[in-house]
C-alpha cells in the first residue's frame, strides 16, 4: 500500500528465481498477492516510481511466508471432533487474526492521514507567513501615505523672502 506521495500509486512486479515474472501491476495504490512457490531460491520484487519522478513515495508491504502452525500440537492428524474448549480456542484465534489485520489496516490509514495533515500544516504555515509579510508591507505603506497627508508642503525658496 502506498502511504504517502504523489497520487498514491506505484508500479510493482515480482519475479521467481528463474527470472519469470509472476506478478506485475501498474499504478496501484493497494493490492494483495498470494503465490504458492514452485521453485526454491530468491524471489525478487520491485516497486517502481518511474512515471512520477518528482514525488517521493512511502510504501508499506508485508510478507507472510508459510502456513500458520496449528494451535494444538495434535490438531493436524486428529480424527475425532474438537471439544467445545478446543473449538472456542480456534474461533478466538481466528478472531484475533482478524483483529491483527484490522489494526494493520488502521495503522496504515493513520500513517496516510498523518502524512496529509503534516503536508497541510506546512502549507498553512507558509501561507500564514506570507500573509503576515503582506500585512506588514501594507501597514507600513498606509502609515507612510497617512503621514504624507499631514506633512506641510513648503514651497521652494525661489522668490520668497522674509
The tens place of each residue's pLDDT in the chain, 162 residues long, gives 887 777 778 888 889 999 899 989 888 887 888 888 888 889 888 888 877 777 788 888 887 777 777 776 666 666 677 788 878 888 898 899 889 888 988 988 888 888 889 989 999 999 999 999 999 999 999 999 999 888 877 776 555 555
60 assigned to some structural domain: yes
Instruction: Work out how many domains the chain is built from and give that number.
Output: 2
Based on the fold, state whether residues 112 and 51 are members of the same structural domain. Answer: no
Based on the fold, state whether residues 89 and 126 are members of the same structural domain. Answer: yes
71 assigned to some structural domain: no
160 assigned to some structural domain: no
Q: Note the pLDDT of residue 56.
A: 80
Based on the fold, state whether residues 62 and 4 are members of the same structural domain. Answer: yes
Q: 55 and 5 in contact (C-beta within 8 Å)?
A: yes
Which of 66, 97, 117 is the last residue in one of the domains?
Answer: 66
Instruction: Give the list of residues 6+ apart from residue 52 with CB closer than 8 angstroms, or none.
Output: 5, 6, 7, 9
CA dihedral in degrees (68, 74, 75, 78; nearest 10)?
150
Q: Note the pLDDT of residue 125.
A: 97
38 assigned to some structural domain: yes
Based on the fold, state whether residues 55 and 8 are members of the same structural domain. Answer: yes
Based on the fold, state whether residues 92 and 59 are members of the same structural domain. Answer: no
Which of 14, 36, 66 is the last residue in one of the domains?
Answer: 66
Task: Tell me which residue range forms the domain holding 19.
Answer: 1-66
Q: What pTM did the predictor assign?
A: 0.54
Cite the beta strand spans of the chain per DSSP E: 2-4, 10-15, 21-28, 44-48, 58-59
Q: Note the pLDDT of residue 134.
A: 97
Q: 13 and 23 in contact (C-beta within 8 Å)?
A: yes
Amino acid at each position: 500500500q502506498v502511504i504517502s506521495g504523489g497520487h498514491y500509486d506505484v508500479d510493482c512486479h515480482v519475479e521467481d528465481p528463474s527470472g519469470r515474472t509472476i506478478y506485475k501491476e501498474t499504478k496501484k495504490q493497494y493490492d494483495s498477492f498470494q503465490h504458492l512457490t514452485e521453485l526454491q531460491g530468491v524471489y525478487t520484487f520491485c516497486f517502481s516510481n518511474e512515471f512520477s519522478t518528482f514525488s517521493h513515495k512511502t510504501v508499506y508491504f508485508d510478507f507472510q511466508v508459510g502456513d500458520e502452525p496449528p494451535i494444538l500440537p495434535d490438531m493436524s492428524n486428529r480424527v475425532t471432533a474438537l471439544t467445545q474448549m478446543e473449538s472456542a480456542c480456534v474461533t478466538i484465534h481466528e478472531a484475533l487474526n482478524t483483529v491483527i489485520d484490522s489494526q494493520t489496516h488502521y495503522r496504515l490509514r493513520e500513517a496516510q492521514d498523518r502524512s496529509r495533515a503534516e503536508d497541510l500544516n506546512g502549507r498553512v504555515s507558509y501561507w500564514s507567513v506570507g500573509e503576515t509579510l503582506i500585512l506588514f508591507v501594507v501597514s507600513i505603506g498606509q502609515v507612510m501615505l497617512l503621514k504624507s497627508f499631514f506633512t506641510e508642503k513648503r514651497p521652494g525658496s525661489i522668490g520668497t523672502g522674509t
